[in-house]
Chains A and B, each alone.
Chain A
Amino acid sequence: YVLTQPPSVSVGPGQTATITCGGRNIGGQSVHWYQKKPRQAPVLVVYNDGDRPSGIPDRFSGSNSGNTATLTISRVEAGDEADYYCQVWDSSSDVVFGGGTQLTVL
């Protein structure tokens, strides 16, 4: 199972960043999103398509339908600059990660 993410997304501070994750019928699966900053462990920012773990600001939201899942970051801040990865569980491959999207805050 393959998850496809755009290599990079750029937005200005205060704007909205949209990061997509494409996969065949991904809308039928639970999608999780991670934020990875250099020299830090990844952090789960959205799980089960659109739920947020404790401590994650509500600026982070997610949706999932058809062949595309989306992570939306509203009111982007400089501190949101990171790589973002989507992940699903697939019956044939178990855990599958997307290739990652580098978010740049201009």
Chain B
Amino acid sequence: QVHLQESGPGLVKPSETLSLACTVSGASVGGSSSYWGWIRVPPGKGLEWIATIYGGGTTFFNPSLKSRAGISIDTSKNHFSLRLTSVTASDTAVYYCVKNLPHSSGWAWGLWGQGTLVTVSS
């Protein structure tokens, strides 16, 4: 049974960097055919994809966030991380880490973490 758990600060100051980690249990983040990602839900709004990383290290970003977002894998800790620089209040959201459903086309996100609320405020 694969399980995802987000961790990181719940409060970030404007202009600073948001950093979150997703600890994976039951699977290897470095495994082939696995895609790992981050999706957020701002208060009162819909789902917004942020970034995806393939187990081999290839990365993909939402064009609107690409200039500020980074995603990486740490196989020694079996986790993957999100960095979002120069945050503003509009980055306030519940952030979810996700894993694709094997054998799905076009990244169906079959596994989600419980989510972590990040508030951007001074």
- Interface, chain A (partner B; CB < 8 A): 29-30, 32, 34, 36, 41-44, 47-48, 53, 83, 85, 87-89, 92-100
- Interface, chain B (partner A; CB < 8 A): 37, 39, 41, 46-49, 52, 60-63, 96, 101, 104-110, 112-115
Q: Which B residues touch A36, using CB under 8 A?
A: 41, 47
Secondary structure of the A contact surface, majority rule: strand
Give bound CA distance, A91 to B7, whole Å.
31
Listed by A's residue number, 20 A-B pairs whose Cβ atoms lie within 8 Å are A32-B109, A34-B47, A41-B113, A42-B96, A43-B112, A44-B101, A44-B108, A47-B101, A47-B108, A87-B108, A89-B107, A92-B63, A94-B107, A95-B49, A95-B107, A96-B49, A97-B46, A97-B47, A99-B46, A100-B46
Question: Are B48 and A97 neighbours in the complex by a CB distance under 8 Å?
Answer: yes
Give bound CA distance, A92 to B114, whole Å.
29
CB nearest neighbor in A for B47: A97
Question: Are B110 and A47 neighbours in the complex by a CB distance under 8 Å?
Answer: yes
Q: Which B residues touch A94, using CB under 8 A?
A: 49, 52, 60-62, 107
A48 in complex: contacting residue of B52, B63, B104, B112, CB < 8 Å: B104
Q: Which B residues touch A32, using CB under 8 A?
A: 104, 106, 108-109
CB nearest neighbor in B for A101: B46
Q: Which A residues touch B106, using CB under 8 A?
A: 29-30, 32, 88-89
